[in-house]
Amino acid sequence: LTYCKRLPKIELHAHLTGSLSDETVLKLLNSKLKCVHVNLPKSAEVTIRRGHRRTLEECFQIFGILHYLIDNLETVKNITRDVIQEFASDNVKYLELRTTPKSVPNKMTKKDYIETVLEAILQEMKTNCITVRLLLSIDRSRGIDDAWNTLQLAKEYKTHEIYKNLICGLDVSGNPACGNLTNYIPVLEEAKKCGLKLAIHLAEIPNEAETLAVLRTGLVDRIGHGTFIHPSSGGSQELLYYVQHYHLPLELCLSSNVKCGTVKNIEDHHLAHWRKENHPVIICTDDKGVFSTSLSEEFHLCAEAFNLSQNELNELCITAVEATFQSQHEKQKLAQLIQNELKSCT
Ligand code: 5GP
């Protein structure tokens, strides 16, 4: 674990709300308790500790509780600050955060929410040794109109005078059992026309028809989870073909998948199949708070389960650079930084 902590890491799949640490959730609970007199869960109930499991449905209930706690701009600023500082102190050098724009009547609009997150990102980049970018999330359970609205907001902030360099794309997430991603393809087409990159949760649960329809469009830039894509993990040759054809990096979140039960054990994780194919994989946390983990711990789990050497761990850090949603010039700079840090690591 010490070596994994020292590694200069890149995090490409982190949902803001799911990344809240116990400390941050406790602060939120305490300030909520000052305002309302209801029975709220203890912090431990919104995190899933080592060895414990919850179904995907139960995880989505946890997000509901967290969203209930994040109901004003001061809180949005504080949680964004805490999450960035925690990634920075885990030696994450580049972070792509993702979040679903939210509004609370009389308290904040979606624009307020986004601007507060972006402002906190700018602030934290000044004082921490980390580069942060933002993806706006489309929540597939909220319907197509909400998705168009999220795209509109992303377009607006992508050309915003102050924040334009911070928004790099869209994420599509939300409960995979809700809705059908095929209906969202027109939104994704429009997003690509506007220069937004797309990271899409695909095949998190078995759904070959939907996954194939989305992959065939050629619009996807990165895949989140992709658990049921490889033929050896319940997918098919055709799905594998498209992922390889478009050379789509996979954002893999070991603890998340095992704790939600979409993968039985770490040793059975589809990461092994993709490594055999020599296909680019990125180790990510997904929701470091909810799943009670850190990026260093995910690297450590991966090293233990698949017997990875220090060189192989270094390679994982380097592979991630190419998968970032940055310009070629920015990638070169980041690659240089990672290489330099790796030298002092070994
Ligand atoms: P937020 O967008 O509020 O910052 O982060 C929490 C949201 O991210 C959840 O409500 C959900 O839409 C999405 N999310 C977090 N983890 C997962 C996951 O493992 N799978 C999927 N499909 N969505 C997730």
Distance CA 204, CA 186 (A): 22
Q: Which of 54, 84, 173 to mutate to test the pocket of ligand 1 (most atoms within 8 A of CB)?
A: 173
Atom of ligand 1 nearest to the CA of 66: 3
Question: Exposed e or buried b for every residue in 73-95, given b needs 16+ CB within 10 A?
Answer: bebbebbbbbbbebbbebbbbbb
Q: Ligand 1: residues whose CB is within 6 Å?
A: 15-18, 63, 99-100, 137, 139, 173-174, 176, 201, 204, 256, 286-287
Over the stretch 119-154, which tens digit does the pLDDT of each residue have?
A: 999 999 999 999 999 999 999 999 999 999 999 999
Residue with tokens 């070169």: 332
Over the stretch 262-292, which tens digit does the pLDDT of each residue have?
A: 999 999 999 999 999 999 999 999 999 999 9
Q: How far is the CA of 140 from the centre of ligand 1 (A)?
A: 10
Task: List residues with catalytic annotation.
Answer: 204
Distance CA 344, CA 170 (A): 35
Atom of ligand 1 nearest to the CA of 174: 12
Mean pLDDT over the full length of the chain: 94
- Sketch the domain layout of the chain as residue ranges: 2-345
Q: How far is the CA of 290 from the centre of ligand 1 (A)?
A: 10
Over the stretch 96-112, which tens digit does the pLDDT of each residue have?
A: 999 999 999 999 999 99
Over the stretch 6-22, which tens digit does the pLDDT of each residue have?
A: 999 999 999 999 999 98
CB 84 within 8 A of CB 130: yes
Q: How far is the CA of 19 from the centre of ligand 1 (A)?
A: 10
Over the stretch 149-201, which tens digit does the pLDDT of each residue have?
A: 999 999 999 999 999 899 999 999 999 999 999 999 999 999 999 999 999 99
User: What pLDDT was estimated at residue 38?
Assistant: 59
For atom 12 of ligand 1, the residue with the nearest CA is 174
For atom 13 of ligand 1, the residue with the nearest CA is 174
Distances (CA, A) of 122 to 129, 157, 296: 12, 14, 24
User: What pLDDT was estimated at residue 36?
Assistant: 62
For the segment(s) 2-345, the CATH number from 3.20.20.140, 3.30.470.30, 3.30.420.40, 1.10.10.10 is: 3.20.20.140
Q: Which of 15, 67, 98, 135 to mutate to test the pocket of ligand 1 (most atoms within 8 A of CB)?
A: 15
Q: How far is the CA of 345 from the centre of ligand 1 (A)?
A: 33
CB 301 within 8 A of CB 266: yes
User: What pLDDT was estimated at residue 41?
Assistant: 62
Distance CA 160, CA 58 (A): 37
Kindly state the average pLDDT of the residues 89-99.
98
Predicted complex ipTM exceeds 0.85: yes
